[in-house]
Chains A and B, each alone.
Chain A
Amino acid sequence: MALETKLELSPKGLAIITLAGELDASNAADFQTQITQAASANCKRLVLIMQDLEYMASAGLRMLAFTKQKMGASVDIYMVGTKPTVQETIEAVGFQYSVIMLETYDAAQIEQF
């Protein structure tokens, strides 16, 4: 399955990347491009909508590490709707300490800054 990604930038400084399909070495660069764009836009918060992401290979996990470094410590990163299989791997690695995991998109929490 291919990866579909979509980047939305709001004037308030919110960047939302929606991921669908499978994230692996063959398409991690697409994800990286959008992270770079979000960082260039000086967004204040980055939200990854993961509910339609079925699988994440090591390249995808590595890209999460890249995301944290690229955005910097001052930018909160939210991961929304991560599927259990993906979340288990994220938690085993320990990436959940670097991001905020939400089951659903909570506008009150995400958009208040």
Chain B
Amino acid sequence: MEMPNIQRLDLNPTHTYEEFKLRPGKPLPFGATFVPGGVNFSIYSQHATHCTLVLFERGKTEPLAEIPFPAEFTIGNVFAMVVFGLDYENTEYGFRMDGPFDPTNGHRFDASNILLDPYAKAVGGRSTWGTPPDWNDIYQHRGQLVYDDFDWGDDHALQIPIEDIVVYELHVRGFTRHPSSGVRYPGTFAALRAKIPYLKALGINCVELMPVYEFDEFENSRPHPFKEGELLMNYWGYSTLCFFAPKAGYAATAPHGMQVDEFKTLIKELHRNGIEVWLDVVFNHTAEGNERGPSISFRGIDNKTYYMLTPEGYYFNFSGTGNTLNCNNPIVRNMVLDCLRYWASEYHIDGFRFDLAAILGRDPWGAPMPNPPLLESLAFDPILAKCKLVAEAWDAGGLYQVGTFPAYGRWAEWNGKYRDDMRRFLKSDEGMVSAAAQRIQGSPDLYAWRGPTASINFLTCHDGFTLYDLVAYNGKHNEANGENNQDGANDNHSWNCGWEGPTDDPEINALRLRQMKNAFVLLLVSQGVPMILMGDEVARTQHGNNNTYCHDNELTWFNWELEQQNGELLRFATQMIAFRHAHPALRNREHFRNTDYMGSGYADITWHGTQAWNADWSNDSRVIAFMLCGKHAKNGSMSDDYIYVAINAYWDALPFALPGLPTDLVWHLFANTSVPRPGDIHTPGQEPPLDDQQHILVGGRSAIVLVGKPATTHTEHP
């Protein structure tokens, strides 16, 4: 049967403004959406009296057109309009919002500003990183139209069980910007894609990308205090301009408007190589700062909705950056949900780490809520159901929720106590053995009902010292930040091993290397989810700067020459990661029970000291050893070797008596950090047996890892 060729009436314009054909738009979804023949623009504002759509030809300084929303195009608090016949590739758009300028009552409307759509899917204006902007441009950050036509093939989120994850936190630009990276388009998504073989060889299976939402690297830029002609910039990017748009300056192809495709290609290729992609998302504040900051988007669209305000109309500052996003306002809550759903569905993102997430549990007046609706919504959202959700469970307003973050059975946490306790244990502080034992077990003292996978274990992250600096500096050296060394944390729990900063002293350098190896042992034999900071595996240094948020220079870039220079540490870290992947006993989903529930004759975990079966928990002790029974691997669901780990944080070598194994098993040496390469570590499965099965000498400030397995056969794991 031949169908009649009937043109759908609802595609036709109903209104005209100048040369533009219009019709009333659909209120949902918010943002700019393609419809047949046109674009549907929809934006929320409760308190604006009028709204005007401002259209630009791409890159032009003057608007192409300004189209007021007719009164009949308003539905509730939503302005919605379809504009026909636009040149999608060359259109940039924004809005003017009219309404009261009445800060005391929370309103800061100013129709002279052109405002960025909070739902813009791409943003122009900073398309090439570091290119000085035209500050006279009346519209700095421009909404762009985005197609959803990326060819994903059979790609989907990897859904690796979280207990099997090894996270690698990296900065997209810093990872490849250094001249030594040897890749095309350094500092971009494309360049990161070229470095996937390195990540795969290292063995990590998850990258956590520091902020990739559109931000302005020129925000609060200022001259470098010591380097003439160089700027300090908003390098880290914890200052979001637009939650739905990838950072254009991270894309080599952003000048072509292809940043969305370039980033999606990176994600697709990471997935193809078995690597999940988590995003570090910053919903606690925006780039608009306090009442003295610019009006870029939210402030001019509906200040009172988007921000937490004091009764006098000033900005609450729980983020430490000037303002606080009003996340538990229902409108903002929905925006956050829409945003994460968008990234999960359109970008196939595997997980999200929420910066200063404790703020997300505050009510609009700043008080912590026992049952925060946003956190609950995220935990139970059907589209986010397979995404990992990780909280930085504190904020700058003093709310510290490590161990108590409202989790709803879903949320994991950056375990700040793991970092602090393990740093102190590593540098031989007294009284740390009991705390270290808790952290090694996945912090059951903090996550009794949530299991070890609630704990993202880390010794270092972008915020603070790198691993090398942790063993090379007693104090921070942030003078290059231009804040008189007042910024950055003071409680670093670091130890310089005898000299502050670089030294030629071979003993100090050997000790530093050993301490870094010890750190990798601690991190990768701990239950929970280990996270490694970019470059720690090659001893990347920031020369003692523990707050490098403003440095787009060698201080923060990954120097790829270190791959060769510090190959011994890289090899050690790589083998430790491989060891973790090889041994399910290290990756339990539930806490140890400290009993033998498998009938093996051994409890799942047992504690030891210099004497087997007799751990020294005293205040003076710096020694801890534990054995994992292979029959209890993954809570008894898998079979593994027995694993014995001894950490001697005391400064002299100590003999350790080894616990006896089942008669058919023999202790083999996997790692010994007091031995130089190549004997410091072995390939998992190829460990040599110990000559002495009864004792082992563990060097001062050293760790050993043993594997108990049959003498002549290599153990295969399911």
What is A's interface to B at a CB cutoff of 8 Å?
25, 28, 57-59, 61-62, 65-66, 68-69, 73, 88-89, 91-95, 97-98
Contact = CB atoms under 8 A, between A and B. Distances in A.
22 contacts: A25-B87, A28-B89, A58-B257, A61-B256, A61-B258, A62-B89, A62-B149, A62-B258, A65-B147, A65-B149, A65-B261, A69-B149, A88-B184, A89-B253, A92-B188, A92-B258, A93-B253, A93-B256, A94-B190, A94-B269, A97-B268, A98-B151
Given A57-B256, A92-B252, A94-B269, A62 B190 contact: no
B90 A92 contact: no
Contact of B258 (A88, A93, A97, A98): A93
Nearest to A24: B89
Contacts of B90: 25
Contact of A94 (B89, B147, B193): B193
A94 B262 contact: yes
A68 B151 contact: yes
B265 A94 contact: yes
Contact of A89 (B147, B151, B256, B269): B256
Given A62-B89, A88-B184, A94-B269, A73 B262 contact: no
Contacts of A62: 89, 147, 149, 258
A58 B252 CA distance: 13
B522 interface: no
Contacts of B147: 62, 65
Nearest to B193: A94
A62 B269 CA distance: 20
Interface of B: 87, 89-90, 147, 149-151, 153, 184-185, 188, 190, 193, 251-253, 256-258, 261-262, 264-266, 268-269
A57 B253 CA distance: 11
A61 B261 CA distance: 10
Given A61-B256, A68-B151, A92 B89 contact: no
A28 B257 CA distance: 15
B261 A91 contact: no
A25 B251 CA distance: 21
A76 B264 CA distance: 21
B89 A25 contact: yes
Nearest to B190: A92
Contact of A58 (B185, B258, B268): B258
Contacts of A97: 265, 268-269
Nearest to B188: A92
Contacts of A68: 151
Contacts of A25: 87, 89-90
Contacts of B251: 92
Classify the secondary structure of A's interface with B: helix
B150 A58 contact: no
A113 B491 CA distance: 67
Given A61-B258, A97-B269, A92 B253 contact: yes
A94 B149 contact: no
A62 B184 CA distance: 22
Contact of B153 (A59, A66, A73, A93): A73
A91 B150 CA distance: 15
A89 B188 CA distance: 13
Contacts of B188: 92
Contacts of A93: 190, 253, 256, 258, 261-262, 265
Contacts of B262: 92-94
Nearest to A98: B151
Given A25-B90, A28-B89, A92-B258, 12 more contacts: A59-B89, A62-B147, A68-B151, A89-B253, A89-B256, A92-B184, A92-B188, A92-B252, A92-B262, A93-B265, A94-B269, A97-B268
B250 to A, nearest CB: 12
A93 B258 CA distance: 7
Contacts of A66: 149
Nearest to A99: B151
B654 to A, nearest CB: 54
A92 B128 CA distance: 14
A54 to B, nearest CB: 15
A61 B268 CA distance: 18
Contacts of A94: 190, 193, 261-262, 264-266, 268-269
A66 B261 CA distance: 12
A71 B150 CA distance: 14
Contacts of B153: 73, 98
**8 nearest CB pairs, A to B:** A94-B265, A58-B256, A92-B252, A58-B257, A92-B190, A59-B89, A25-B89, A93-B258
A50 B600 CA distance: 68
A69 B153 CA distance: 10
A91 B266 CA distance: 11
B151 A65 contact: yes
Nearest to B252: A92
A62 B151 CA distance: 12
B600 to A, nearest CB: 48
B57 to A, nearest CB: 11
Nearest to B257: A58
B552 to A, nearest CB: 21
Contacts of B268: 94, 97
A92 B264 CA distance: 11
B265 to A, nearest CB: 3
A59 B185 CA distance: 21
A92 B185 contact: yes
A71 B26 CA distance: 31
A38 B151 CA distance: 19
Contacts of B89: 25, 28, 57-59, 62
B210 to A, nearest CB: 21
A91 B188 CA distance: 13
B469 to A, nearest CB: 34
Nearest to A57: B256
Most buried by B among A25, A57, A69, A91: A91
A92 to B, nearest CB: 4
Contacts of B257: 58
A91 B190 CA distance: 8
Nearest to A94: B265
A28 to B, nearest CB: 8
Contacts of B87: 25
Nearest to B263: A94
Contacts of A69: 149, 151
A93 B193 CA distance: 11
B496 to A, nearest CB: 43
Contacts of A61: 253, 256, 258, 261
A62 B153 CA distance: 17
A65 B150 contact: yes
B705 to A, nearest CB: 40
A71 to B, nearest CB: 11
A113 B66 CA distance: 54
B153 to A, nearest CB: 7
Contacts of A88: 184
Contacts of B253: 61, 89, 92-93
A93 B147 CA distance: 14
Most buried by A among B184, B188, B253, B262: B253
Contacts of B151: 65, 68-69, 98
B89 to A, nearest CB: 4
A57 B262 CA distance: 15
